[in-house]
Structure 1
Amino acid sequence: MSSERVSVPHIEGDGSFGFDIVGESNYQEALDRIAGGKTKKGHEVEFLATLIREPNNSHDRNAIAVLIEGRKVGYVARREAKAMAEMIDRRGYSQFTADAMIVGGWTDSKGEGHYGVKLDLNE
């Protein structure tokens, strides 16, 4: 029996983490678990993200979900998702990986900040 492993392509960025995703407000609990909880200074922690096509998504057939450590943390914005989905489909993949950074998640006596996610993708 052959056990072929299909590799998932990794998209290299330029190290700027300037590509914002959307919808993180719906995934704050997942982000909190991944980041290890809120801290006084917040977070700027790098992770590997998996971006997965969701062609059956009822809101957008070009939807691309962003997962970190197997947990959904948001989506690529609709305006970028269409071109990205076309590129992924052309190459015959349903997903790829990219470096990601979880930011925010601070808490102090004045309040607390939500988490956000930035990808290291060239726009």
Structure 2
Amino acid sequence: MTEPLFICYARCSTCARARAWLDGHGIAYRERDIREDNPNADELAFWHRASGLPIRRFFNTSGQLYRAMRLKDRLPGLSDAEAIELLATDGMLVRRPLLVVPGADGDSPTVLVGFREAQWEQTLVRD
């Protein structure tokens, strides 16, 4: 298995906890700063499909930009494609951390949105 892709923001405390968890479990990963290298629409669409989650789960609903753009009211009226295009405009709109774990033998990746320790443990820790 190739290394998971850890997409984070350096000043995010949740990302720091997730990084410490990965390091503490000896899990190698590639890190990508979401502010410096925002995911593009194709990546987001692929990860959205692979995750099986509703697109609204990819939005950083507690972020200042989300509130300033009044996305709580706008988001329900957007198609998934429109929401993905919007997410691709600014990394601060994207919920973090994102962890993209490559699938085995060409399977779809597992995409974890946000840091839920039990979910990460189930996905990444092998006995």
TM-score interval, smaller chain = under 0.3
TM-score by length of structure 2 reads: 0.25
Q: Does 1 or 2 have the higher relative contact order (CA < 8 Å, sep 6+)?
A: 1
**Structure with more strand by fraction:** 1
TM-score by length of structure 1 reads: 0.26
Which protein has the larger Cα radius of gyration, Structure 1 or Structure 2?
1
